[in-house]
């Protein structure tokens, strides 16, 4: 049986040690929507307790079995066949349970809209990483390529 | 436009109060940064006041392109300088610009002085005055940063500006350090903080702005972004400015041992190549700068009291400290250099001035102008790193009159002890690391902040050297004036000078257009010229006369790659420059 391949990707942290902390990826995420902002990105860069120790990259890793989905009281999060979730904005009541549930702390609330900011796996941020910190990884039917 | 940019936060340290006002014209007509900052300074500062007193005013400002395009990563500061008693201007990156923009202000004005040490935490519209009595006299600027980090919010997005002991002890060339590795370095902003009992400033917020035309924004962004990552900007990522050591050494323009020589036999050791290959531990960037030019060297030190016990630190290096705390004082090992630089960083003083001061003291000691009585028993000699570290420590303790004066720069020292001929300084600000020709020195004489960055004369010198074509004083004055004028535009937007080739006037015009500023290339050039004139008028009100400068004898005794400096040529160029400023206005 031929395997169904979806051309969907997730963002992968290739090597956070290469990160210089420029936050170009964060700016890219919001620019995709025409904003110049660091207010509502879906990817986050933080220093590990001071710049000298380098940076950590926080991004949705498109879980095959996503914790955030299970805790949503109104089932606004649907699992995608290739891992990760899709948010139904109509259903979402903005309770923030998914924010608390994510083990990666990759979900934040959009304070203006009162809804969670979920990664769309578009890969726009990857195109603006100047130092190969993040990359796009193809996902086949909910499992990662070996 | 960017509606939040028009907002100015006015902080009164005496009353521990604040208010928010709008100054739309400063940001609309003068595009922010230095342009807006000078307007604010004019509004709030009496030019005749004592820079150490409570009436001094600090202005921080960002500009029209902040937050919107890459490498627009600088914040400007303006104040009256305690170091030279004229206009103080200093720029820094780190997270400062983006944080200020996110907080929802184009500028911050700080006036008055606090009775007790405080630091101010600004988060959007909320401003808190926090007790900093326990942080005063704490020693290391890095520790102070750590404490503030623990007590204020928004990790990854805030700026943490602070002073060290240098600012507290009113060293006139002390710095304000931001994000550990960037500085408002020159002309003593740290000293003004100290005199106001202001230990630091934490800034964060959540503002953003929408582009008028999404597509046009993305397109313009891509053009700029790609240029930032191509040559010639990329060199700042590779070796960084430290890459200048060997080229300057090879053309005989690398100031060595207090400008007695222009080549250094150990240049290879202090070269960007050697540092990158053998010491570079990490590179970091200012927020919204894909280049990442901040080079951190690793220094591993053994504790003397216990075997196999080490301390590892990361110290940021650049060309300027390699000159001032390296070649200028004859330092022959990277370890010694990093140790001196770390000491300077710990206390938060200007690395450039500190090096020139140490170089002067070394020569003054050798000449017998000062003795062990002044140095408190130390014998400074070129190349002796540990003595220099001890001297800085004694300076911080105000060990005696000499060490107290060391904290005021070489001109004050020379006035007290003599030795002005080898005190390498112009208008109270110590020289940068370029003996490339007359233009490098002219930049220091004519520039608004008496810094190599004002009009980059070293670059004009090197162009003359390459093209083998000398230029008249009038042409020289014009070249310096035009360069300084365009740099006022960059300092108003506020673009990092490393991106000066990326942000050409036509691209600036296009970038501004995306966010609603309708300025053509001619308008932009005119803004730069106007700001430069405005700046010099403020300096004139502070009692500054450009022609009243002093050329240290040492500078005339040592040949540059373009030959010996001719005082008559200098004099005539300065005259022309002054005419460019004041004839038309």
Q: In chain B, where are the structural domains located?
A: 3-204, 229-429, 430-582
Delimit the CATH 3.30.70.20 region(s) of chain A.
Answer: 61-104+113-118
CA B275, CA B334: separation in Å to the nearest integer?
8
φ and ψ of B469, to 5 deg:
-135, 110
Which residues are CB-contacts of A94 (< 8 A; sequence separation ≥ 6)?
A109, A113, A114, A115, A116
CA B150, CA B130: separation in Å to the nearest integer?
13
CA B291, CA B295: separation in Å to the nearest integer?
11
Q: Give the rounded distance of the alpha carbon of A9 from its chain centre.
A: 11
CB B539 within 8 A of CB B87: yes
The pLDDT tens digits of the residues spanning A11-52 come to 999 999 999 999 999 999 999 999 998 988 999 999 887 788
Of B375, B344, B329, B357, nearest in space to B428 by CA: B357
Q: Which residue of A has its CA nearest to B150?
A: A49
Q: Which residue of A has its CA nearest to B2?
A: A36
Query: Residue B74 corresponds to which tokens in the numbers above?
Result: 């600088």
CA B525, CA B533: separation in Å to the nearest integer?
13
CB B86 within 8 A of CB B544: yes
Taking the Cβ of residue A46 and every Cβ of chain B, the question of whether any pair is shorter than 8 Å is answered with yes
- pLDDT over 50 at B36, yes or no: yes
For the residues B478-486, what does the mean pLDDT come to?
A: 98
CA A115, CA A108: separation in Å to the nearest integer?
9
B contact test, residue of A36, A58, A59 with most B CBs within 10 A: A36
- pLDDT over 50 at A146, yes or no: no
The pLDDT tens digits of the residues spanning B162-217 come to 999 999 999 999 999 999 999 999 999 999 999 999 999 999 998 888 888 899 99
For residue A105, what are the CA distances in angstroms to A50, A110, A116, B154, B224?
A: 19, 14, 12, 14, 32
| H-state helical runs in B426-548 | 438-446, 457-467, 473-493, 505-514, 521-541
Q: Collapsing DSSP states into helix, strand and coil, what is residue B306? A: coil
Which conformational region is residue B368 in: left (phi greater than 0), alpha (psi within -120 to 50 degrees), or beta?
left
Per the model's pLDDT, the better-predicted residue between A6 and B364 turns out to be B364
Q: B386 exposed, middle or buried (CB, 10 Å; 0-12, 13-18, 19+)?
A: exposed
| pLDDT (0 to 100) of residue B155 | 72
With a CB-CB cutoff of 8 Å, which residues 108-137 of chain A face chain B?
Answer: 111, 128, 130-131
Q: Give, as one character, the DSSP assignment of residue B516.
A: T
Q: Which residues pair with A47 in a beta bridge?
A: A55
Query: What does CATH list as the number for B3-204?
Result: 3.60.9.10
**Selecting from 1.10.10.10, 1.10.10.60, 3.20.20.450, 1.10.599.10, what CATH number does the domain B430-582 have?**
1.10.599.10
DSSP assignment of B132-189 equals -TTTTT---HHHHHHHHHHHS--TTT-EEEE--HHHHTT-TTB-EEETTTEEE-SS-H
Taking the Cβ of residue A80 and every Cβ of chain B, the question of whether any pair is shorter than 8 Å is answered with no
Largest CA distance in chain B: 70
Question: What fold, for A61-104+113-118?
Answer: Alpha-Beta Plaits (3.30.70)
Flag if A131 and B149 touch (Cβ within 8 Å): no
Taking the Cβ of residue A97 and every Cβ of chain B, the question of whether any pair is shorter than 8 Å is answered with no
Which residues are CB-contacts of A4 (< 8 A; sequence separation ≥ 6)?
A141
Average pLDDT of chain A?
A: 88
Across the interface, of A22, A37, A51, the residue whose CB is closest to B289 is A22
| C-alpha torsion B528→B529→B531→B536, nearest 10 | 140
CA A87, CA A64: separation in Å to the nearest integer?
16
For the residues A104-123, what does the mean pLDDT come to?
A: 92
Using a CB-CB distance cutoff of 8 angstroms, which residues of chain B are in contact with residue A23? 98, 156, 287-288
Taking the Cβ of residue A23 and every Cβ of chain B, the question of whether any pair is shorter than 8 Å is answered with yes
CA A111, CA A133: separation in Å to the nearest integer?
28
Query: Residue B7 corresponds to which tokens in the numbers above?
Result: 């907002």
- pLDDT over 50 at B391, yes or no: yes
Query: Residue B246 corresponds to which tokens in the numbers above?
Result: 């060997």
Of B402, B429, B399, B396, nearest in space to B416 by CA: B402
The pLDDT tens digits of the residues spanning B282-297 come to 999 999 999 999 999 9
Kindly list the residues of chain B whose beta carbon comes within 8 Å of any beta carbon in chain A: 67-68, 70, 98, 102, 142, 145-146, 149, 155-157, 179-181, 206-211, 214, 217-218, 221, 225, 229, 282-292, 294, 296, 313-314, 515
| C-alpha torsion B479→B484→B485→B487, nearest 10 | 130
CA B357, CA B218: separation in Å to the nearest integer?
48
Using a CB-CB distance cutoff of 8 angstroms, which residues of chain A are in contact with residue B149? 49-50
| pLDDT (0 to 100) of residue B490 | 98
Q: What percent of chain B has pLDDT over 70?
A: 99
- pLDDT over 70 at B553, yes or no: yes
Q: How far is A83 from chain B (nearest CA, A)?
A: 28
- pLDDT over 50 at B583, yes or no: yes
- pLDDT over 60 at B479, yes or no: yes
The predicted complex's ipTM stands at 0.90
Across the interface, of A24, A36, A40, the residue whose CB is closest to B67 is A36
| pLDDT (0 to 100) of residue A4 | 47
Q: What percent of chain B has pLDDT over 90?
A: 93
Same CATH topology for B229-429 and B430-582: the answer is no
With a CB-CB cutoff of 8 Å, which residues 2-21 of chain A face chain B?
Answer: 20-21
The pLDDT tens digits of the residues spanning B513-544 come to 999 999 999 999 999 999 999 999 999 999 99
For the residues B359-375, what does the mean pLDDT come to?
A: 98
Average pLDDT of chain B?
A: 96
For the residues B99-127, what does the mean pLDDT come to?
A: 97
Q: Which residue of B has its CA nearest to A35?
A: B210
Flag if B180 and A35 touch (Cβ within 8 Å): no
Largest CA distance in chain A: 52
Class of domain B229-429: mainly alpha
CB A5 within 8 A of CB A29: no
φ and ψ of A101, to 5 deg:
-75, -25
């Amino acid at each position: 049986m031929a395997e169904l391949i979806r051309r969907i990707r997730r963002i992968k942290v290739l090597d956070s040690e290469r990160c210089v902390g420029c936050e170009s990826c964060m700016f890219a995420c919001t620019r995709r929507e025409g904003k110049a902002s660091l207010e509502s990105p879906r990817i986050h860069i933080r220093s590990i307790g001071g710049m000298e120790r380098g940076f950590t990259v926080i991004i949705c890793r498109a879980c095959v079995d996503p914790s955030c989905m299970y805790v949503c009281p109104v089932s606004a999060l649907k699992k995608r066949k290739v891992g990760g979730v899709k948010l139904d904005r109509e259903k979402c009541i903005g309770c923030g349970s998914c924010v608390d549930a994510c083990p990666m702390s990759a979900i934040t609330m959009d304070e203006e809209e009162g809804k969670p900011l979920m990664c769309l796996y578009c890969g726009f941020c990857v195109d603006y990483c100047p130092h190969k910190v993040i990359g796009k990884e193809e996902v086949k039917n909910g499992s990662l390529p070996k | 436009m960017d509606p939040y940019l028009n907002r100015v936060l006015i902080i009164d340290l005496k009353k521990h109060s604040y208010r928010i006002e709008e100054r739309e014209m400063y940001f609309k007509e003068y595009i922010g940064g230095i342009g807006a900052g000078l307007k604010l300074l004019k509004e709030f500062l009496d030019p005749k006041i004592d820079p150490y007193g409570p009436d001094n005013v600090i202005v921080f400002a960002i500009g029209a392109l902040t937050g919107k395009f890459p490498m627009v990563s600088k914040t400007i500061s303006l104040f009256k300088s305690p170091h030279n008693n004229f206009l103080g201007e200093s720029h820094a990156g780190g997270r400062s610009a983006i944080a200020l923009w996110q907080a929802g202000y184009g500028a911050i004005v700080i006036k008055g002085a606090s009775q007790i040490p405080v630091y101010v935490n600004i988060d959007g519209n909320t401003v808190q005055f926090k007790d900093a009595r326990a942080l005063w006299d704490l020693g290391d600027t890095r520790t102070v940063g750590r404490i503030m980090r623990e007590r204020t919010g928004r990790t990854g997005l805030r700026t943490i500006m602070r002073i060290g002991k240098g600012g507290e002890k009113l060293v006139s060339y002390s710095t304000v350090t931001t994000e550990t590795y960037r500085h408002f370095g020159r002309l003593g902003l740290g000293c003004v903080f100290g005199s106001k009992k202001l230990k630091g400033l934490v800034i964060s917020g959540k503002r953003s702005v929408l582009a008028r035309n999404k597509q046009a924004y993305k397109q313009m962004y891509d053009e700029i972004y790609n240029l930032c990552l191509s040559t010639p900007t990329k060199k700042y990522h590779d070796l960084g400015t430290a890459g200048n050591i060997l080229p300057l050494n090879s053309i005989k323009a690398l100031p060595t041992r207090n400008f007695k020589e222009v080549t250094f036999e150990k240049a290879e050791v202090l070269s960007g190549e050697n540092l990158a290959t053998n010491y570079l531990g990490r590179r970091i960037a200012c927020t919204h700068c894909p280049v990442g030019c901040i080079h951190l060297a690793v220094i591993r030190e053994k504790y003397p009291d216990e075997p196999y016990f080490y301390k590892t630190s990361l110290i940021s290096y650049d060309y300027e400290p390699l000159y001032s705390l390296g070649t200028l004082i004859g330092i022959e090992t990277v370890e010694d250099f990093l140790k001196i630089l770390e000491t300077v960083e710990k206390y938060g003083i200007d690395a450039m001035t500190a090096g020139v001061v140490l170089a002067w003291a070394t020569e003054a000691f050798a000449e017998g102008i000062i003795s062990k009585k002044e140095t408190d028993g130390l014998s400074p000699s070129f190349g002796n790193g540990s003595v220099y570290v001890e001297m800085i420590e004694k300076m911080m303790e105000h060990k005696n009159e000499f060490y107290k004066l060391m904290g005021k720069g070489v001109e004050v020292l020379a006035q007290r002890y003599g030795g002005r001929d080898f005190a390498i300084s112009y208008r109270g600000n110590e020289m940068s690391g370029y003996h490339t020709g007359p233009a490098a020195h002219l930049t220091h004489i004519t520039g608004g902040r008496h810094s190599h960055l004002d009009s980059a004369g070293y670059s004009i010198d090197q162009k003359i050297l390459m093209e083998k074509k000398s230029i008249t004083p009038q042409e020289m004055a014009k070249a310096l004036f035009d360069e300084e004028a365009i740099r006022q535009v960059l300092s108003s937007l506020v673009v990092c000078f490393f991106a000066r080739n990326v942000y050409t006037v036509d691209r600036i015009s296009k970038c501004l257009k995306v966010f609603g500023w309708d300025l053509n290339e001619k308008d932009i050039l005119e803004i730069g010229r106007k700001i430069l004139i405005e700046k010099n008028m403020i300096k004139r009100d502070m009692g500054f006369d450009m022609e009243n400068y002093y050329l240290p004898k040492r500078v005339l005794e040592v040949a540059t790659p373009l030959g010996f400096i001719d005082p008559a040529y200098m004099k005539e160029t300065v005259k022309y420059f002054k005419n460019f400023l004041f004839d038309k206005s």
